[in-house]
Every structure is written in structure tokens, then in C-alpha cells.
């Protein structure tokens, strides 16, 4: 029998690397009785980080689905990586979670990774609980961490607890919600309840009153009761806090030590009593508009938020049920293809347990789906609505793959595309312009993981090399030129003569002076920019039947520009004269002539190479700001502005793509991992004359080598 929707809690564990998420998840499983012994990250024995790759690297690289039964609820736990390089795992987990649990390292406070993750939490409007973890650390500073959280995340941050004796030997938590003091055995586990000491009553009561006020604010009846009596009973308080948390009006703060198993049980009790179930969360948005409630009475609807390939198993599909209840044997439809659900599993890391039903709101897994991939919705036949897809962040770095032998290359591309289907934050591009296979990812760690998987899992050696830059070529002035193509080799020959004017193109430019325009074509080019083609032939010196051939010849040269072989853009071409021969003229002759005259005219029209510029947003601490700025200036960056964001500095800069190779690694090195960045294409801009000369010389050298 499936768990009722109202009794499900879907929690995503988030936080900067090193805040202890995996250990905390292990403690939650232990507290609930799912596991009899707690594993450790150091011994590679945790339920969460179970893949060989994660154990080799010593950190979480994938989101892991876990679950625990606590009193009347099933708590699904999604443990996510802390590195921003694997943010796709966080985003997909946020999609199906109903509450975020943000862990803060008590020794380090609110770290830059937390700042980045907070943006995603806000994008999903996810109710959030903060847990100040590692209270047992020698340098634990709960007060400072709480103050930083309030400063960054606002006055909605309300402490529920505080430690009485943080640091080594930590045993005691004052709980202001229940107005009780928990004293833990030194080895952790179940605490004893004690009255709050008189010295702490004032502080605890002040925190309690703030929680009561927050609970009363959302309900007129509770507010009235609060004004009349000055307090709320436990049931009323729970009702008010449930509303406040669900509507993101409060962000409760707890404290704990995941390593020493102190505080997790109280947090799980809060999740059970207060955290929203899928039934009370806003309806899920549908592609194309509309929404659907998470309800067992709705049509059967399953959304796949993640796929992963495992040896000997094949593809595992992780899903959330958004409507109805699903059982083994159900036939659902995805993109007009029928999928039969053979088995359904509840999951704890690598352990999968067969179940006969999962109902709306629950999260589970199935195997060997033939058609469905990440971001797909499976529905009943004839009810083909689609849950709104996950919007994954754009890539931030790129690298090229060194081509192995032809046989290996085919295997490599198959393996890369398999990883790409599992990981939508990886983009595999086979670029005809650059003549390279380019991988676009979130950071160097992300791309290194892809390389590791290819080599360890697929047995294919793969190296990276510097990717070429997708430059553009254009012109800055007008030029006229002509070219005669004449070839005679027995029998009919080839003849074509084309007179051409080329000019820089811009919107709404006037017709060319001195020419009579017969036809005009303005085309959007696949790679951006435009080609304006004007037919200005008067008197039939070239028959109009050759228009397409002449255009084709021009396009061939625009696809491989005269300067560096890069795409050309924003050019107006006017064909105003020429000659043809009744016997020897044909399409091929005019293609050759137009291509050659375009090349010649281009060289005389102030040719200009354009390079791609990217807008960068870098978030870093004050202490490394100078180093980050110095590095940017060495990359020909234009600083667009600076601003404070929480405890961090935000730098906005515009940087040439050519200068961003391995930027992720450099930034991590100069900031000791305490900085994050994102980038977005801005524009193409003219390179300086010295750079242009170097690029042209390099291209000519390459041509001579070939």
C-alpha cells in the first residue's frame, strides 16, 4: 500500500562542500532505524556516497535518493553535492523536493557556495530550514553563523535552538520552541530532557516569543488568540509554523553535530510535524501553461528528474509521482511511446527495495525504460500533459577532446552522448567550424569527472586540449571587385564573370547608390548576423537563373572566411554586372566566380575579425578580491561594476572567450575554492590590430602545413 501524500516529506540536503551533508544524512538514517551502524565518508561506508567514483574522489558527485520512516511519515532525503560544478544535481533535486535543508558549517559560517545555492532555492520558492552543523568543531561559532545567515537571508531567519557548550565536548542544546534543554551522552544518541537553566530562560523566552509571533501572523484566529492570551498552545503553534514555513515566511534555524549524532532526531521530528507535504505545496506548473495538484485522485503522472547508468543494471530512472498511484505493470506514455513500468523501487543509495505501489508525492526509481529520459513526463494514454521541465544552468567552461583513432572516436562519442543524456549540464558539440569536439560543462571538476567516467567505466583513453575560438569575420568599408572564371579543357568549357560590391550591413540601411536593385534577399545566418544579397543586373548581362548559384558561391566563402576560416556575418553583397557564355556558362562556373570575387573584395573592404565576449559574474570574499581583479585584468577583462552581496563582493566583467581557458581552475586556486562564477555570452567585438595580425598569420601557417 502506497504512503498517503499528506504523510510524505521530500527533503533536499544542500550546502557548501565540507558542511557535512552526507554524514548528516547517514545520521538521519541511523536515527530512524533504517541502518544499524553509521558509516563514514573516510571509510567509504556511507549509504549516500556509494559509487566507486565518489569513493575514489572522497566527496559527493551525484544526488542520492534515501528515505526514512519517522513516526507517521516517510521522509525522502536527497543528498546533493556541495561543489558548484555539480549544480545540475542540486537543481534536479530541488525540482522534486518540498523542503530544503541548508547545512551551514559552524566553523566557516555562510560560505560562498551557500550564497549560490540560495539563488536556486529562491528560484524554486522552496521552504527552507537551516541547520548549523559541526557544533562540536573546535572553532564552532554558532552566533556568528546565525548573524551571517540573518544578514544574507533576511529577518525571516529565526533560531529554534542554540548550543549551550559548543566546541569540543559539545553536549547541550537549548530548544526555544519546546522550551526544553536537551543533554546528549558524550557518544551521542538520544538526549535527556532538562529544564532550561535560569541563566538561559530570558534568551530562550525571547526566541520562543519570536516563533510564536511568526506562527500567529499567518492566521487571523491564531493572531486573535495571541493578542488575547499572549501565547499559543503546542497544537496552535505547530499549525501556525506549518503555514509560515510553507509560505516561506520563516526560515527556522537548528543546531547539530552530524558526526556525533547530536540533534538530528529533533530535526526529523520537526520535519514530521511542521514541514509541508507535497499535498499542500503549490500546484506543479505544466509545459504550455496550466498546473496540476499533487493528488492521488489526479491522472497518473510521473516526472523523471534524473537518470543514471549502472553496470549490470543499465539505466535507472529516478522519478516523482505527481498524480495518482503507480504500480508494476502500468503502461504510461511518453512522447507517444508506451513505456511499461516493470518494477518500482524505494531507494536508499545503492539499495533498492521492490514495492507494489507509489502514490502522488512520493519519490522512487524504476529500471530499463526504453524511451523516457531526464525531464520527461509519463502519463496515462490520452492524458499527455507535461510537467514543466527543469531549467538547467548554462555551461561555464569548455574544452576540446583530443581525437583518438577513428574506431576509438566512434566509441568515445557514443559514451559521451550517454553521459550527456544523464547529465543535462554537459553539452557535447561537434563543431564543423572549429573542427573539434567541444565539451561544455560547469567547471573543471565537472569535466574531469566526465573524463574519469569515460576512462574507468568505458575503458576509453581521453585527453583534453585547448578549444579553438569561434571567431567571426566582417568588413568595415565598401569595396568593388570583379572576377572572370574561364576554363577550357576540350569540349565545352566553363565561363562566368561577376562584378560585385560588398558593404557592411546594418538594419534599415539605404539602397546602394548608383545601382538599380531588381531583387533583394536578407537572410538570417545560422551562426548569427545577416547576409543581404541584392541583384542589381540591368540589361541581362547575367541571366537571373544564376542567382542561386552566385549566392551559393558567396555562402561557401562566408562559411569559411578569407582571414581565419571563420564564419562571416553582417555583409551586403550587390551583383551589378558580369558576363556569361551561351554554351560554357553554368551554375558551377558562377559559383566559382562569385566565391573568388567575394574573397578578393572582402580583403579590400577593411576586413575585421570579431571575437566572442562573455559577461562574467564572480562572487568572492574581500580577502581575495585583489587577486581576482588582478587575474581578470591579465585576461583583457573590462570591469563593468562591483557590488557587495551579503558578505561577498560581486564583480561584473566582460571578458574575451579566448582568455577564459581553465579560468575555473585558476579561480579555485587563487581563492582556495572560496569563489564562484557564472558567464553568459554578451556580444562579438573587434579584436585589436596586433591580435588580428597574429590570428591571420597563424591561419596561413596552418594552411601551408596542410
CATH code where residue 106 lies: 3.40.50.300
Please check whether residue 232 is in contact with residue 217, taking contact to mean a CB–CB distance below 8 angstroms. no
- Give the lowest-confidence range in 141-145, 307-311, 504-508: 307-311
- Give the lowest-confidence range in 254-258, 636-640, 676-680: 676-680
Task: Give the end of a domain, one of 465, 490, 523.
Answer: 465
| Residue 407 neighbours by CB distance under 10 Å | 8
Helix (H) / strand (E) containing 245: helix 234-246
| Residue 523 neighbours by CB distance under 10 Å | 12
Confidence at residue 562, expressed as pLDDT on a 0 to 100 scale: 94
Confidence at residue 126, expressed as pLDDT on a 0 to 100 scale: 97
The pLDDT of residue 679 is above 60 = yes
C-alpha–C-alpha distance, residues 522 and 514, integer Å: 20
| Residue 242 resides in a domain | yes
**What is the residue range of 614's domain?**
609-691
Please check whether residue 424 is in contact with residue 470, taking contact to mean a CB–CB distance below 8 angstroms. no
Confidence at residue 531, expressed as pLDDT on a 0 to 100 scale: 97
Q: Which three cell numbers stand for residue 8?
A: 510524505
Secondary structure (DSSP) of 40-79: -TTTT--SSS-SHHHHHHTS--S-EEEEEEETTEEEEEEE
C-alpha–C-alpha distance, residues 352 and 240, integer Å: 37
| Residue 625 resides in a domain | yes
For the chain, state the CA radius of gyration.
32
Contacts of 381 (CB under 8 A, 6+ apart): 331, 332, 333, 338
| Residue 701 resides in a domain | no
Residues 623 and 642 reside in one and the same domain: yes
Residues 33 and 166 reside in one and the same domain: yes
Between 72 and 478, the more confident residue is 478
Please check whether residue 320 is in contact with residue 94, taking contact to mean a CB–CB distance below 8 angstroms. no
Between 621 and 345, the more confident residue is 345
Calculate the average pLDDT of the chain. Answer: 93
Interval 107-117 mean pLDDT: 89
Interval 120-149 mean pLDDT: 96
Q: What are phi and psi of 451, to 5 degrees?
A: -60, -45
Helices (H), 367-441: 406-422
The pLDDT of residue 706 is above 60 = no
Q: Where are the beta strands (DSSP E) in 233-274?
A: 251-255
CATH number of the domain at 521, please.
3.30.230.10
C-alpha–C-alpha distance, residues 112 and 542, integer Å: 66
Confidence at residue 178, expressed as pLDDT on a 0 to 100 scale: 93
The pLDDT of residue 220 is above 90 = no
Packing angle, helices 198-216 and 234-246, rounded to 10: 60
Q: What are phi and psi of 165, to 5 degrees?
A: -145, 60
Task: Give the end of a domain, one of 422, 440, 465.
Answer: 465
| Residue 640 neighbours by CB distance under 10 Å | 13
| Residue 411 resides in a domain | yes
Q: What percent of the chain has pLDDT over 90?
A: 79
Task: Give the end of a domain, one of 226, 245, 280.
Answer: 280
Residues 587 and 486 reside in one and the same domain: yes
CATH number of the domain at 439, please.
3.30.70.870
Q: What is the pLDDT of residues 159-190, one digit of tens each?
A: 999 999 999 999 999 999 999 999 999 989 99
| Residue 69 resides in a domain | yes
- Put residue 431 in one of left, alpha, beta given phi > 0 → left and psi -120 to 50 → alpha: beta
Residues 598 and 617 reside in one and the same domain: no
Please check whether residue 328 is in contact with residue 356, taking contact to mean a CB–CB distance below 8 angstroms. yes
CATH number of the domain at 678, please.
3.30.70.240
The confidence band for 635, taking pLDDT boundaries of 50, 70 and 90, is: very high
C-alpha–C-alpha distance, residues 310 and 293, integer Å: 33
Residues 272 and 288 reside in one and the same domain: no
Q: Which three cell numbers stand for residue 544?
A: 537571373
Packing angle, helices 663-671 and 444-457, rounded to 10: 120
Contacts of 172 (CB under 8 A, 6+ apart): 163, 164, 165, 181, 182, 183, 184
Please check whether residue 376 is in contact with residue 333, taking contact to mean a CB–CB distance below 8 angstroms. no
Helices (H), 37-166: 52-57, 87-96, 112-124, 142-153
Residues 349 and 430 reside in one and the same domain: no
Q: Where are the beta strands (DSSP E) in 313-371?
A: 314-323, 325-326, 331-334, 337-340, 345-348, 351-354, 358-359, 363-367
Interval 225-247 mean pLDDT: 79
C-alpha–C-alpha distance, residues 342 and 538, integer Å: 72
Confidence at residue 326, expressed as pLDDT on a 0 to 100 scale: 96
Interval 373-383 mean pLDDT: 93
C-alpha–C-alpha distance, residues 159 and 176, integer Å: 8
First to last CA, the chain: 69
Residues 191 and 318 reside in one and the same domain: no
SS3 state of residue 279: helix
Residues 87 and 215 reside in one and the same domain: yes
| Residue 657 neighbours by CB distance under 10 Å | 19
The confidence band for 476, taking pLDDT boundaries of 50, 70 and 90, is: very high
Total number of domains constituting the chain: 5
Secondary structure (DSSP) of 7-21: GEEEEEEE-STTS-H
| Residue 384 resides in a domain | no
Residues 457 and 411 reside in one and the same domain: yes
Percentages of the chain per state (helix, strand, coil), in multiples of 5: 30, 30, 40
Q: Which three cell numbers stand for residue 570?
A: 553582417
Residues 26 and 121 reside in one and the same domain: yes
Residues 179 and 74 reside in one and the same domain: yes
Q: Which three cell numbers stand for residue 565?
A: 576560416
Q: Which three cell numbers stand for residue 218?
A: 499567518
C-alpha–C-alpha distance, residues 322 and 4, integer Å: 13
Packing angle, helices 112-124 and 87-96, rounded to 10: 40
Confidence at residue 305, expressed as pLDDT on a 0 to 100 scale: 97
Confidence at residue 469, expressed as pLDDT on a 0 to 100 scale: 96
| Residue 621 resides in a domain | yes
Q: What is the pLDDT of residues 513-533, one digit of tens each?
A: 999 999 999 999 999 999 999
Please check whether residue 363 is in contact with residue 429, taking contact to mean a CB–CB distance below 8 angstroms. no
Interval 348-357 mean pLDDT: 94
Nearest to 161 by CA among 255, 38, 275: 255
Confidence at residue 702, expressed as pLDDT on a 0 to 100 scale: 84
Q: How many residues does the chain have?
A: 706
Question: Strand 157-159 relative to strand 251-255: parallel, antiparallel, unpaired?
Answer: parallel
Helix (H) / strand (E) containing 627: helix 625-633
The pLDDT of residue 225 is above 90 = no
- Give the lowest-confidence range in 19-33, 112-126, 608-622: 112-126
Helices (H), 559-684: 587-603, 625-633, 663-671
The pLDDT of residue 441 is above 90 = yes
Confidence at residue 228, expressed as pLDDT on a 0 to 100 scale: 66
Residues 223 and 171 reside in one and the same domain: yes
| Residue 391 resides in a domain | no
Beta bridge mates, 320: 303, 363
Question: Strand 291-292 relative to strand 284-285: parallel, antiparallel, unpaired?
Answer: antiparallel
Question: Strand 251-255 relative to strand 128-133: parallel, antiparallel, unpaired?
Answer: parallel
Interval 602-625 mean pLDDT: 95
Confidence at residue 458, expressed as pLDDT on a 0 to 100 scale: 86
Nearest to 85 by CA among 579, 673, 581, 531: 673
Interval 59-83 mean pLDDT: 94
Confidence at residue 153, expressed as pLDDT on a 0 to 100 scale: 92
Interval 101-122 mean pLDDT: 92
C-alpha–C-alpha distance, residues 134 and 163, integer Å: 11
Interval 462-468 mean pLDDT: 94
Please check whether residue 576 is in contact with residue 500, taking contact to mean a CB–CB distance below 8 angstroms. yes
Place of cell 509541508: 276
- Put residue 285 in one of left, alpha, beta given phi > 0 → left and psi -120 to 50 → alpha: beta
Beta bridge mates, 428: 439
Contacts of 690 (CB under 8 A, 6+ apart): none
| Full-model pTM | 0.89
Amino acid at each position: 500500500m502506497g504512503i498517503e501524500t499528506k504523510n510524505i516529506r521530500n527533503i533536499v540536503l544542500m550546502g557548501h562542500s565540507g558542511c557535512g551533508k552526507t554524514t548528516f544524512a547517514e545520521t538521519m538514517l541511523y536515527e530512524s532505524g533504517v541502518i544499524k551502524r553509521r558509516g563514514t565518508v573516510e571509510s567509504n561506508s556511507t549509504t549516500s556516497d556509494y559509487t566507486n567514483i565518489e569513493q575514489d574522489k572522497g566527496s559527493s558527485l551525484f544526488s542520492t535518493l534515501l528515505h526514512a520512516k519517522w513516526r507517521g511519515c516517510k521522509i525522502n532525503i536527497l543528498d546533493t553535492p556541495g561543489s558548484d560544478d555539480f549544480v545540475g544535481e542540486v537543481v534536479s533535486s530541488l525540482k522534486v523536493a518540498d523542503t530544503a535543508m541548508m547545512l551551514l558549517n559552524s566553523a566557516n559560517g555562510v560560505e560562498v557556495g551557500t550564497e549560490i545555492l540560495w539563488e536556486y532555492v529562491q528560484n524554486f520558492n522552496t521552504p527552507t530550514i537551516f541547520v548549523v552543523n559541526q557544533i562540536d568543531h573546535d572553532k564552532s561559532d554558532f552566533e556568528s553563523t546565525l548573524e551571517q545567515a540573518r544578514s544574507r537571508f533576511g529577518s525571516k531567519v529565526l533560531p529554534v535552538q542554540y548550543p549551550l557548550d559548543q566546541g569540543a565536548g559539545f553536549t547541550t542544546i537549548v530548544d526555544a520552541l519546546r522550551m526544553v534543554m536537551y543533554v546528549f551522552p558524550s557518544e551521542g544518541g538520544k538526549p535527556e530532557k532538562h529544564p532550561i537553566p535560569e541563566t538561559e530562560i530570558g534568551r530562550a523566552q525571547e526566541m520562543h516569543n519570536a516563533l510564536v509571533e511568526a506562527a500567529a501572523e499567518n492566521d487571523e484566529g491564531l493572531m486573535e488568540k495571541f493578542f488575547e492570551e499572549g501565547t499559543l498552545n503546542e497544537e496552535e503553534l505547530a499549525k501556525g509554523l506549518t503555514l509560515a514555513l510553507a509560505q516561506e515566511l520563516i526560515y527556522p534555524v537548528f543546531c547539530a553535530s552530524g558526526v556525533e549524532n547530536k540533534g538530528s532526531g529533533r530535526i526529523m521530528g520537526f520535519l514530521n510535524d511542521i514541514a509541508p507535504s507535497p499535498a499542500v505545496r503549490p500546484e506543479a506548473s505544466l509545459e504550455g501553461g496550466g498546473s496540476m495538484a499533487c493528488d492521488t485522485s489526479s491522472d497518473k503522472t510521473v516526472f523523471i528528474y534524473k537518470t543514471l547508468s549502472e553496470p549490470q543494471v543499465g539505466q535507472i530512472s529516478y522519478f516523482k509521482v505527481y498524480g495518482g498511484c503507480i504500480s508494476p505493470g502500468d503502461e504510461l506514455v511518453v512522447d507517444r511511446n508506451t513505456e511499461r513500468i516493470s518494477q518500482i523501487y524505494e531507494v536508499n543509495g545503492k539499495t533498492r527495495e521492490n514495492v507494489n505501489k507509489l502514490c502522488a508525492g512520493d519519490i522512487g526509481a524504476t529500471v530499463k525504460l526504453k524511451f523516457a529520459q531526464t525531464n520527461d513526463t509519463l502519463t496515462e494514454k490520452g492524458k499527455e500533459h507535461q510537467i514543466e521541465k527543469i531549467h538547467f544552468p548554462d555551461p561555464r567552461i569548455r574544452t576540446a577532446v583530443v581525437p583518438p583513432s577513428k574506431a576509438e572516436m566512434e566509441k568515445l562519442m557514443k559514451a559521451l552522448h550517454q553521459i550527456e543524456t544523464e547529465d543535462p549540464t554537459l553539452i557535447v558539440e561537434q563543431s564543423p567550424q572549429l573542427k573539434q569536439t567541444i565539451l561544455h560543462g560547469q567547471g573543471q571538476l565537472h569535466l574531469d569527472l566526465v573524463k574519469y567516467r569515460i576512462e574507468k567505466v568505458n575503458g576509453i583513453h581521453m585527453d583534453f586540449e585547448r578549444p579553438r575560438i569561434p571567431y567571426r569575420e566582417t568588413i568595415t568599408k565598401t569595396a568593388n571587385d570583379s572576377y572572370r572564371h574561364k576554363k577550357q579543357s576540350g569540349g565545352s568549357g566553363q565561363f562566368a564573370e561577376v562584378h560585385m560590391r560588398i558593404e557592411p550591413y546594418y538594419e534599415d540601411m539605404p539602397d546602394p547608390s548608383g545601382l538599380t536593385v531588381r531583387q533583394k534577399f536578407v537572410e538570417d545566418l545560422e551562426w548569427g548576423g545577416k547576409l543581404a544579397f541584392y541583384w542589381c543586373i540591368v540589361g541581362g548581362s547575367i541571366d537571373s537563373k544564376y542567382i542561386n548559384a552566385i549566392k551559393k558561391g558567396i555562402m561557401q566563402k562566408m562559411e569559411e572566411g578569407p582571414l581565419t576560416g571563420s564564419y562571416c556575418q553582417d555583409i551586403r553583397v550587390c551583383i551589378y554586372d558580369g558576363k556569361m557564355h551561351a554554351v560554357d556558362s553554368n551554375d558551377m562556373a558562377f559559383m566559382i566566380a562569385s566565391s573568388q570575387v567575394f574573397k578578393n573584395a572582402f580583403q579590400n573592404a577593411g576586413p575585421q575579425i570579431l571575437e566572442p565576449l562573455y559577461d562574467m559574474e564572480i562572487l568572492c570574499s574581500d580577502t581575495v578580491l585583489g587577486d581576482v581583479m588582478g587575474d581578470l585584468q591579465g585576461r583583457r577583462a573590462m570591469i563593468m561594476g562591483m557590488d557587495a552581496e551579503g558578505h561577498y563582493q560581486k564583480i561584473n566583467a566582460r571578458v574575451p572567450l579566448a582568455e577564459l581557458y581553465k579560468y575555473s581552475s585558476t579561480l579555485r586556486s587563487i581563492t582556495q575554492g572560496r569563489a564562484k562564477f557564472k558567464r553568459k555570452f554578451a556580444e562579438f567585438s573587434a579584436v585589436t590590430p596586433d591580435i588580428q595580425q597574429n590570428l591571420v598569420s597563424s591561419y596561413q601557417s596552418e594552411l601551408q602545413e596542410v
